[in-house]
Chain A
């Protein structure tokens, strides 16, 4: 069964098309990387799928049902830069927000929710920082808190927006282990990703996107030099100066 089916999404931003004709479907228990140059609409796609921004047209089904009926099964990890880290709250509290969907409106947070949130923090090696004000965490630690919040959501399908951006090596390893664990548990994960060198080792499926999908399929097939050139255009030459195409693995 497909965990996610996206049919013909169109999004405009400031009257300019941001996404056109985006259709693809992701099988359950897969790890999908969404790859493309800056401004290709990768984050926009995730936000449009999750109905965080309006879309002109397009249908999204999650596990065979409309998205609205599956909210509790969806986990979302926004870009770290999108929130105000000076907000008066601590790490545990942010993780608890992952339980709000399950707790429900007007209901108080209970002891068992707190205990579960602590377990989630422990899973990403952050239990010592539970009481730490979030502005006093490093970038990698902040990302771990977001991961712990995602774990707390206990979702069937996860959408992650550049989780690897600006994190230390240890955090990157934590994220990768988590992705593998989720996959083994049959959860589905979509990740907006920037680093072409790691695409082959991290993801089973790959969506190459530049406003419209250039290629989608198992990484072995879709992540080819031809498709990359079609996605990045002239910018690929710049990228390959830093990393040889062999390193990227095409």
Chain B
């Protein structure tokens, strides 16, 4: 208990924990739509594709600057999304195959660049390794500000467009029929997801960012049949995972943050799978008995 108390006494740790709470909540909320639109794989490709963007930003400017890295991540994430769509449109490949291709090429390229940078800047000075699995301990106050503001922005926008996102996800044809700009709404949703991935990378890392988007809503679905509740529960699960994972990683000796956050979310997922009110295995078993 003392360890937790110490952690909360430390103002820096308090900031980082607040950041991870908001990040997890935003991720759970927007992740609900990603899951229901069956875009889990695309978000995974986006996150992996951020790595070369970060490396190229470093190679061009030669400094470790979070805003520059995030711009690089966003650009290469966008490029990957565009390529996936282009491949689907212009070839016979299906979406899953084109996602697979783009994800591997971008991530492979990112690893090559990362290895090059690590060799040539003498060890791990650049700290770029942290972007693979996330490292809360390496964050400075400004990084936390960016995560907090970005998360609040995503939560606000998803709430604002909730009704429209809902009908556009459930029945896009009908939504178009009543005159909603479905393409525009999808584009906004996509931008929010890219933004989520980009601000989450520093804490969760490119490999596991998609897991933070998908696991909380997946768990939440076992507790409720209503999208409104799903968003709220999913956000809460994301927030709990963020805080617990970050705390564990800050207390432990340099343990990467991303895996700990995702492990926490996975534990909650298994609890939900068993005990969830609506679809949990035990409830279903009792109902059938």
Contacts and interface: CB of A to CB of B under 8 A. Distances in A.
Q: Does A associate with B in a complex?
A: yes
Given A105-B164, A106-B160, A133-B225, A87 B170 contact: yes
A51 B170 contact: no
A101 B225 contact: no
A71 to B, nearest CB: 4
Contact of B221 (A47, A84, A88, A153): A88
Given A78-B173, A87-B169, A101 B178 contact: yes
Interface string A6-26: 000000000000000000000
B227 interface: yes
Nearest to A153: B178
B167 A100 contact: yes
Contacts of A84: 36, 170
A76 B173 contact: yes
A76 B170 contact: no
B177 A74 contact: yes
Contact of B176 (A52, A82, A93): A52
A169 interface: no
A158 to B, nearest CB: 11
Interface string B26-45: 00000000001000000000
Interface string A85-107: 00111100110010011010110
Contacts of A153: 178
A84 B173 CA distance: 12
A158 B179 CA distance: 15
Contacts of A74: 177
B22 interface: no
Given A78-B171, A82-B171, A97-B170, A88 B176 contact: no
Interface residues of A, number: 30
A194 B163 CA distance: 34
Contacts of A76: 173-174, 177-178
Dominant secondary structure of chain B at its interface with chain A = helix
B41 to A, nearest CB: 17
A72 B179 contact: yes
B174 A88 contact: no
B227 A88 contact: yes
Interface string A152-175: 010000000000000000000000
Given A89-B225, A105-B164, A106-B160, A50 B171 contact: no
Contact of A90 (B164, B169, B180, B225): B225
Could you say which of B164, B178, B224, B227 has the most chain A C-beta atoms within 10 Å of its C-beta? B178
Contacts of A101: 178-180
A83 interface: yes
Contacts of A71: 177-179
B167 A97 contact: yes
B166 A83 contact: no
A141 to B, nearest CB: 16
B174 A89 contact: no
Given A83-B171, A100-B163, A106-B160, A51 B176 contact: yes
B272 to A, nearest CB: 14
Interface of A: 47, 50-52, 68, 71-72, 74, 76, 78, 82-84, 87-90, 93-94, 97, 100-101, 103, 105-106, 108-109, 133, 149, 153
Closest 3 interchain pairs by CB? Answer: A71-B179, A101-B178, A76-B177
Given A88-B221, A105-B164, 5 more contacts: A51-B176, A68-B179, A71-B179, A84-B36, A87-B169
Interface of B: 36, 160-161, 163-164, 166-167, 169-171, 173-174, 176-180, 221, 224-227, 230, 278
25 contacts: A47-B173, A51-B176, A52-B177, A68-B179, A71-B178, A76-B174, A76-B177, A76-B178, A78-B177, A82-B171, A84-B170, A87-B36, A87-B170, A88-B224, A88-B226, A88-B230, A89-B166, A89-B227, A93-B226, A93-B227, A97-B167, A97-B170, A100-B167, A106-B160, A149-B174
